[in-house]
Amino acid sequence: MATDDRTSAYVWVWLPDAIQPAVAGRLDETTESGLITFTYGRSYLRRGDAIALFLPDLPLEPAVHYPVSRQVPGPIADASPDAWGRRVIENRNAAKGRTSDLGPVEVLLESGSNRVGALDFQASSETYVPRLGGTATLDELAEAAERIEAGQPLPPALDDALLHGSSIGGARPKAVLADGDRELIAKFASSTDTYPVVQAEFLAMRLAADAGLDVAPVQITSVRGRHVLLVERFDRPGGGRRRAVVSALTILGLSELDYRVASYADLADRIRSRFADPTKTLRELFARITFNILVGNNDDHARNHAAFWGGSELALTPAYDICPQPRAGGESAQAMAIGRDGYRYAQLAGCVTRADVYLLNETDARGIIDRQIDAIQTHLADACDSAELTAIDRERLWQRQIMNPYALEGY
């Protein structure tokens, strides 16, 4: 909905266990200043089952909410398209002759409705009409992704189908598809890949499960001569329900502009004060940090961690986006600082000496790491077979990304 001086979108939310969304409020973007505000609807505030979209960002109050240090409120930014989704929208608009840049609220209104979490955005406050796009086979979705990467226009049917997944975050090609009552995110290989990214991510996710981490289920398949990773969505429990999800960036009260200051230590503090079962959650977080180090994933930024939001407490989601990253030398650092002193080196010994941040003693910390090392060594060959990695690719991953000697120095 647009006027001369603002663009607006109504925010709809699936409340816990609901199968239909309710309108929660309105997002307004002022044309001249670009300022974005959110206001709850009076009818939503009167509901007995209403929950805040997130606290402390958007408390259940009739006041106009101004985002702090952000252009868009955190929980709404988490439901916005990322780099790949924006490419899909730009490609779609270019085919229609529309080349002007879209503002944040316009992007929300033009992206697909099947976005991460339990929010969606509509031009109407009265009627909810999902933008679900068309249906397509995995082969057709892979073709559509290839065309987008090549800057080619899509046939109308493929254009509609790819719109379905345009609101899923991340920079790499992907799409959303259904498998019975399950929903899956399909991650495709990119034309710019210099190593088998899709297979490496499957391998790391499979090994993470073998090591006892709570991870999203994955499988791998091949389409159009390329591998495709299928990740089961944990924000879709079935039956039309959706679970609210917020990123660690939002939990930490940070924006995309200051994401570099995000740290695991600060996240650990939030876990102690705001999460259900903080002791168990902190142990899981520490295990994810050390496993990322062991498999060479240093793309562990605050958007790649998330929690379910039920209105009062948070609970860590299953792990996702665990993918070994290219590296040439030995020294490496994680995207988020591990200790309160700013330590972020990808070394297990440094994690052990800072384990108290996660309410662990040295014995507990070493026990977690030793079990992960054992699981990797025990299951690596089978996991590589399942990933259909060549002998050369296995050699490239082993002790370069996976179990790099730098990670084990001093341990």
In tens, the pLDDT along 162-207 reads: 665 566 766 678 888 888 788 998 888 887 788 899 999 999 999 9
**Residue 220, strand partner residues:** 229
Query: For the chain, how many structural domains are there in total?
Result: 3
CATH number at residue 367: 1.10.1070.20
- Please tell me the distance from the alpha carbon of residue 29 to that of residue 3, in angstroms, as a whole number: 10
Other Cβ atoms closer than 10 A to 349: 14
Q: Judge whether residue 38 has pLDDT over 60.
A: yes
- Of 61-70, 104-113, 284-293, least confident by mean pLDDT is 61-70
Co-location of 103 and 150 in the same domain: no
Co-location of 276 and 372 in the same domain: yes
Domain closes at, from 206, 232, 258:
232
Q: Which two tokens stand for residue 342?
A: 């700013």
Domain closes at, from 232, 260, 283:
232
Q: 344 with 337: CB under 8 angstroms?
A: yes
- Supply the DSSP symbol for 365: H
pLDDT recorded at residue 257: 79
How large is the average pLDDT for residues 68-89? 81
Task: Please indicate whether residue 166 or residue 333 has the higher confidence score (pLDDT).
Answer: 333
Nearest to 287 by CA among 379, 359, 383, 233: 359
238 assigned to some structural domain: no
Q: Which two tokens stand for residue 126?
A: 């009265």
132 assigned to some structural domain: no
365 assigned to some structural domain: yes
Task: Please indicate whether residue 5 or residue 120 has the higher confidence score (pLDDT).
Answer: 120
Query: What's the distance, Cα to Cα, between the start and end of the chain in Å?
Result: 58
321 assigned to some structural domain: yes
Co-location of 115 and 146 in the same domain: no
Q: Judge whether residue 244 has pLDDT over 80.
A: yes
Domain boundaries, position 154:
138-232
CATH number at residue 176: 3.30.200.120
Co-location of 258 and 398 in the same domain: yes
326 assigned to some structural domain: yes
- Please tell me the distance from the alpha carbon of residue 144 to that of residue 154, in angstroms, as a whole number: 7
**Residue 229, strand partner residues:** 187, 220
pLDDT recorded at residue 58: 95
Co-location of 155 and 209 in the same domain: yes
**Residue 230, strand partner residues:** 186, 219
Co-location of 200 and 271 in the same domain: no
